Structure 1
């Protein structure tokens, strides 16, 4: 299923991979790849039937149509996934902390990608042709937050990753993807039309936290992603949707198996 919002078409392919296309043909992807979601090799946790999973079925997807790709942190960096979606003239915006040498997977170093690569810090603005402003911002788990261990250690410490707010299309519809983060107070201050909510919990904000953040942010539409791809990302998407809808905020689930 493809979700329509303003002049945008939004498709979730699994894990953190979302495709946003405007009516003028501009295409952006968030964190493409990993776990077989773009190669057709993904299977539901426990080997279940993909038709019964609250998750899109994986597809062998190599469109090479992206004008913009954003990468939030090491865990979501997949060089093959980027090469599957990026057009030859794509701009690939990657957080400066992403380090292929630190990743225990076979990935191409960021600077060796065959595209225009722009490295960003935690509070940068990048102008991308056809897209508009791409704004990075800190995204992390708080050491005294709900995803911290007793000693304050967290899966995503401050400085490890970012989220992105970017605009797409002729009317400049704003999109926010927080990456892997707690529901930080700063996010609630953003002016956002489309919120790609991370609801997986365990390593970042879960459904209840994301619903509370959605209410504070008050976007025009929320589409949850980054859940049920792996067992540790299990989430109740229907419960999240119900919670958000009760707060009179439009929500759409993209879990089509077609």
Structure 2
């Protein structure tokens, strides 16, 4: 399913992968992982069926890939979505050596790569892109048993995109942080799976504060730790007077 909002088409392709089409650009956010683009992903529970089906996806039409942090760095996913002339915009906190996977350095992949800080701005494919800090608070609700964050500060970012005059906010793998609610957002793409990010309740509260024109939740039901009730999330937002589209 593709969600249409004015001139923008949004498609959740599974896990954190989102494809955004504007009138003159195609942008992907964190493409790949867990077989969602290779056709290998399978639901491991009944809730997992409320998730985009896996497919062998190789559009290679992306002008920009926005890459938030090392957990979502998937070279095969990038190859599947990025045009040969496209650019990877990667958070400068990404260090492949901090991953248990055998990952190439970003400078060694066969694509143009531009690094960005966690509070930065640039224009790629005629699209203003601002980065926003993305992390879990130490000793907060989304940490390991010893209180250490799954996503330490400085290693990842979220993205705010200005597409056809519409501001699309994809916060990345993060808690709700100070400053999020002050952003000017038209379309909000929150993770709602909890465990490693804000959960559906926290995302709903932030959505109410942001008061966007539309909310499209992502990053849930890919595997057991991310299971959540998307219908309950939609009902919660409806009670708060916020429009939501569930792309499953």
Following the alignment from structure 1 to structure 2, what is the Cα–Cα distance between the partners of residues 251 and 89? 34
How far has the Cα of 1:6 moved from its partner? Answer: 1.5
Deviates more, 1:84-93 or 1:139-148: 139-148
Please identify runs of 4+ aligned residues in structure 1 that moved more than 2 A.
148-152
Q: Are residue 108 (structure 1) and residue 104 (structure 2) matched?
A: yes
Q: Which ranges of structure 1 fall in alignment gaps of 5 or more residues?
A: none
Aligned to 1:133: 128
Instruction: Kindly report the root-mean-square deviation, in angstroms, between the aligned alpha carbons of the 2 structures.
Output: 1.5
Following the alignment from structure 1 to structure 2, what is the Cα–Cα distance between the partners of residues 184 and 90? 31
Deviations 1:29-80 (A, max 9, x none): 110000000001100014x697xx1101011000000011101111111011
How far has the Cα of 1:21 moved from its partner? Answer: 0.4
* Closer/same/farther in 2, CA of residues 135 and 148 from structure 1, 3 Å limit: same
Given that residues 45 and 230 in structure 1 are in contact (C-alpha distance below 8 angstroms), is that contact kept between their aligned partners in structure 2? yes
Q: Are residue 68 (structure 1) and residue 64 (structure 2) matched?
A: yes
Instruction: State the secondary structure of the residue aligned to 1:118.
Output: strand
Aligned to 2:40: 41
Instruction: State the secondary structure of the residue aligned to 2:133.
Output: strand
Name which of 50, 75, 82 aligns with 1:79. Answer: 75
Name which of 79, 82, 91 aligns with 2:87. Answer: 91
Following the alignment from structure 1 to structure 2, what is the Cα–Cα distance between the partners of residues 49 and 213? 24
Q: State the aligned residue count.
A: 248
Following the alignment from structure 1 to structure 2, what is the Cα–Cα distance between the partners of residues 99 and 145? 24
Aligned to 2:120: 124
Given that residues 14 and 58 in structure 1 are in contact (C-alpha distance below 8 angstroms), is that contact kept between their aligned partners in structure 2? yes
Instruction: State the secondary structure of the residue aligned to 2:234.
Output: helix
Q: Are residue 217 (structure 1) and residue 210 (structure 2) matched?
A: yes
Aligned to 1:187: 180
* Closer/same/farther in 2, CA of residues 82 and 149 from structure 1, 3 Å limit: closer
How far has the Cα of 1:129 moved from its partner? Answer: 2.3
Greater length-normalized contact order (CA 8 Å, ≥ 6 residues apart): 1
How far has the Cα of 1:95 moved from its partner? Answer: 0.5
Q: Are residue 162 (structure 1) and residue 194 (structure 2) matched?
A: no
